[in-house]
Amino acid sequence: MTMIDDLFSLRGRTALVTGGSSGIGYAMAEAIACAGARTVLLARREGPLTEAVQRIAAKGGEAHAVSVDITDRQQLADAAEQAVKLVGEIDILVNCAANMHRPPLGELSTTQWDELFAANVDAPFLLGQRFAPRMVERGWGRIINVGSQQTISAFGDSGGYGAAKAAVAGLTRSQAEAWSPHGVCVNTLIPGFVLTPLTAETAKDPERVEALAKRHMVARNGVPEDFQGAALFLASDACRFVTGQMLFVDGGFSVH
């Protein structure tokens, strides 16, 4: 087990996961915390945050919670400092929080556009600016940005959401170029269609859900637990020669 520990153990590390109270964000936070990282969950709703912390503790991980609206820059900056007070400077940053306005593009308001970019692009950028230079100073860090199928293709009224998620991949490449020479690996994780609170509206249509399942090569839609292995890989020493990439955890959706 020594090699497994050397590659994947996160003991002694610290982590911050936005959107960590539910869905993919929670699953990733659980994996990272249970691998040994002292983990802070950022999300808006206090009730789900409290429940998430308790669930992680029950599995032997250490987690803390900070309630924040990530689209508010001052709140986000304050939350970042609260996280540092709780666990110390952050080694592993996971940007999973998102919002999803998806009207037809012609009906998309400028307010919705701004909200989409604030959550999906600005927050990962701002948190990266806060934490990555300190990672560079320590010579080790990991940033995991979460994209979408809309990062690479149009899909069901992509609109502003598609533009924002495409920007996430560009941000990842820029962050990797800036910081990877100093031990900070930055990658984008691309899900398929995953049954989470964020996709609950789509999931109300059984025929659409079935059609999406058939498009995945594994013949099913994703569930949050499918992302725990990828999160552990991207957060660990096993990822030391992987940076600037898009890792597709999508059951073959993107190539089918």
Residue linked to tokens 């020493």 = 237
Q: How far apart are CA 123 and CA 102, in angstroms?
A: 19
The H or E element spanning position 67 is strand 63-67
Q: Catalytic site residue 26?
A: no
- Report how far Cα 229 is from the mean position of its chain's Cα atoms: 13
Residues near 20 by beta carbon (within 8 Å), at least 6 away in sequence: 26, 28, 29, 39, 40, 41, 42, 43, 49, 52, 63, 94, 96
Residue linked to tokens 């032997």 = 60
Cα(first)–Cα(last) distance of the chain, in Å? Answer: 37
Q: How far apart are CA 203 and CA 196, in angstroms?
A: 9
The dihedral through the CA atoms of 193, 195, 196, 197 has a sign that is positive
Q: Catalytic one among 8, 117, 161, 227?
A: 161
Report, as residue numbers or ranges, the catalytic residues.
161
